[in-house]
Amino acid sequence: MPTGLPIEFSAVSKTFGPVTAVDDLSFSVEPGRVTGFLGPNGAGKTTSLRILLGLVTASSGTATIGGTPYHRLPSPLTTVGAALEAASFHPGRTARNHLRVYATAAGIDIARVGVVLDRVGLSEYAGRRVGGFSLGMRQRLGLAYTLLGDPGVLVLDEPINGLDPEGIKWIRGFLRELAGEGRTVLVSSHLLSEVQQSVDEVVIIAKGRLVHRGDLSTLDTDVAPRVVVDSPDRARLADALRAEGLEFSDGRTGLLVSSPDPARIGHIAFMNSLELSALFRQRAGLEESFLTLVGGGELADHDEHPAAPDHAEIPEPTLDAGRTGAAEPAPDPDPAPDPATAPDAEGDDR
Amino acid sequence: MSTLLRAIGSEFLKLLTTRMWWVLALVMTGYVAIAAGGLGAAFGYLSEHPDAARSNGPGAGGGVPTGSGLEVLIYGFATTVGYVFPVLLGALAATGEFRHATLTPTFLATPRRGLVLLAKVKVLVVFGAVFGVIAWAATIAAGAATLGAAGLPTGLDSSDTWALAGRGILAMALWASIGVGLGTLVTSQVATIVIVLAFTQFVEPLLRLAAGFIPATADIARFLPGAASDALVGASFFTINGSTQADALDWWAGGLVLLGYAVVLTVLGYLVSWRRDVS
């Protein structure tokens, strides 16, 4: 059984001329878990991963696998499996030959080629030229490449991009399985919703900087927390909050206070002899927290749907709509019904 | 097995698993065989009809240049005309890595990049030599058949002919590595193909022709890669007009000049693009 090794970024920076693509990035990724590496397109995810894999030289800082830089690994493909983009193939080469070329270079038994093609479900296309493959099939072939050396560390850049719903379901289970075997799994994505069902931890970057790191479950309570408070006498409550210098807005279920601490709000109400009908800390929802972190979302327009505890139902905001247009659009795994077009919405008007 | 041997095995597989090498080999074979067979047949015709040569060809003057040298010219087409094919093979093998972004899986499997480039050069040298064998077999077969049919000497019984072929095969091997160097340096597939075709088919022949008229520039022109290659082989398309042959380098000097081009281009390619960031 392969052993997972920790991945360690320490103070990694990369500048391209005047542009800083990665800015003092430090984090570690532990074995046995699936870690999501998230951020909008252009945040520096791919550059960071390429630095880790020795394809791009960092301007400063180091990225290591089990304490060793990639180019010093004695046997790279049996230590780390990486899939960086869906297009690193010669179109005229068959899937089997593609894998044979790199298995030969890494000294891996050619018998592994059949094993990994089978594992990603491409056996029946092994003899076909890659030029005729769909994006989803290329993603699978990329995964087959990562598994050639049965490595303990997997680094996958946007592996879900271009997969059909069945493929997405498959890869989610696949990632969990790999982590369950004790491997280190680092998966990048620009969509939180794409990976939120399969990752344990998230590392979120924006504009090349680390903005959040931690368990997925704490993401929405750690970010821009707000307290919902209501009283039968809402006007006096508002006065009291204003007197304390707290910022708030009117919501359907009460006042939305920009404060992480319900106890403080309760104290203010108590000191003003106010009766409270509601006092709770609001979860923003994973996707919204994510968008807030990366600077693409606004929590202020939350008033229209203040009670949205089930983040899974929030439609996926695509941060980069232009990209999906170029390739196959990433299928929505859990589409929220659109009231404007859903046929059963017509009944409401009659 | 060492990393270098594995990289060499991988580079062999890369070439053998796409159609490029045999398509190029096929076109080359047809091209040089038709050139050699055609010229052999033309000389054969002229030697049998000397009056036709006199009445039609004012340039031909004294008639057919028979004897030693004729078969050298004809067999030499394998390299003097066919050398562009190993260059293209090497250039396509190198630029394909950039074009299809296959440097990523390549460098992931073998992070020592200099070693990868070395493996590629070695494999292309072997393929260049194989191209040489194929091309020389084609010109000797086509040329000897047409010369023999006309009763002209084929030179097949002479060890000089086989030494010629050996040097021609060596030149083809060196040309393939020049292709790798150029492709690594330029990286754009289209630009490299344009450069190869324009230089070998147009620019250099014109330069050599023009330089041949002035003694001072002729000294420089013999260091052009095509001239060096002709010197190495000992046969040249330019022997027809007879202007530059006298100035040609010794065969070993021509070989060293050709090797120099390959080394300089490859080292430059390594420094300028091969070791750069892959993104």
Residue A87 to residue B101, Cβ atoms within 8 A: yes
> Half-sphere exposure (CA, 13 Å, Cβ side) for A57?
5
CATH class, A225-282 region = alpha beta
Which chain B residues are closer than 8 Å to A89 by Cβ?
100, 102
Rounded to 10 deg, the angle between the B113-149 and B84-99 helix axes is 150
Per-residue pLDDT, A321:
38
Which chain A residues are closer than 8 Å to B6 by Cβ?
104-107
Q: Which amino acid would we find at residue B100? A: H
Per-residue pLDDT, B222:
86
Nearest to A105 among B6, B17, B20 (CB): B6
State the nearest Cα–Cα gap between A12 and chain B, in angstroms: 15
Per-residue pLDDT, A249:
84
Which chain B residues are closer than 8 Å to A85 by Cβ?
101, 104
State the nearest Cα–Cα gap between B18 and chain A, in angstroms: 6
Q: Per-residue pLDDT tens for A100-142?
A: 999 999 999 999 999 999 999 999 999 999 999 998 899 999 9
State the nearest Cα–Cα gap between B162 and chain A, in angstroms: 36
Nearest to A97 among B13, B20, B101 (CB): B13
Residue B18 to residue A90, Cβ atoms within 8 A: yes
Nearest to A55 among B10, B13, B278 (CB): B278
Give Cβ neighbours of residue B139 (< 8 Å, ≥ 6 apart). Answer: B32, B33, B35, B36, B74, B75, B76, B77, B78, B82
CATH 3.40.920.10 fits A7-220, yes or no: no
Rounded to 10 deg, the angle between the B113-149 and B159-186 helix axes is 140
Give Cβ neighbours of residue A125 (< 8 Å, ≥ 6 apart). Answer: A95, A133, A137
Per-residue pLDDT, A299:
39
A105 touches chain B (CB under 8 A): yes
A65 touches chain B (CB under 8 A): no
Which chain A residues are closer than 8 Å to B100 by Cβ?
87-91
Nearest to A53 among B9, B101, B108 (CB): B108
ipTM of the complex: 0.89
Handedness of CA B30, B36, B42, B48 (dihedral sign): negative
Two tokens, residue A208: 């090349």
A55 touches chain B (CB under 8 A): yes
Determine contact, residues B53/B64, Cβ cutoff 8 Å.
yes
Which chain B residues are closer than 8 Å to A102 by Cβ?
10, 105-106, 108-109
Eight-class DSSP state of A242: H
| Strand ranges (E), A195-262 | 201-206, 209-215, 226-230, 248-250, 255-257
Nearest to A89 among B13, B102, B110 (CB): B102
Q: Per-residue pLDDT tens for B216-240?
A: 777 788 899 999 999 999 887 765 5
Two tokens, residue B190: 């289209």
Which chain A residues are closer than 8 Å to B14 by Cβ?
90, 93, 101
State the nearest Cα–Cα gap between A180 and chain B, in angstroms: 25
Nearest to A106 among B13, B101, B109 (CB): B109
Chain B residue at shortest CA distance from A143: B105
B18 touches chain A (CB under 8 A): yes
Put the strands of the sheet holding A201-206 in their side by side order: A80-83, A153-157, A184-189, A34-38, A201-206, A209-215
Best of B8, B13, B108 to substitute, by most chain A Cβ atoms within 10 angstroms, is B108
Q: How many CB pairs under 8 A join A and B?
A: 86
Torsion of CA A283, A285, A288, A293, to 10 degrees: 60
A97 touches chain B (CB under 8 A): yes
Could you state, in order of their start, the residue ranges of all structural domains in chain B? 3-21+67-135+161-274
**B 94-133: CB under 8 A from A:** 96, 100-102, 104-112
Residue ranges of chain A whose pLDDT lies below 50:
297-350
Per-residue pLDDT, B249:
87
Give Cβ neighbours of residue B31 (< 8 Å, ≥ 6 apart). Answer: B81, B82, B85
Residue B277 to residue A100, Cβ atoms within 8 A: no
DSSP assignment of B21-33: HHHHHHHHHHHHH
Give 10-residue mean pLDDT values along chain B (279 residues).
Answer: 92 96 97 94 84 52 54 93 96 96 95 97 98 97 93 88 95 98 97 96 88 78 91 77 61 95 97 92
Helix (H) or strand (E) segment spanning residue A198: none
- Within chain A, which residue ranges are assigned CATH 3.30.70.100? 225-282
Chain A residue at shortest CA distance from B119: A105
Per-residue pLDDT, B247:
66
Residue A77 to residue B108, Cβ atoms within 8 A: yes
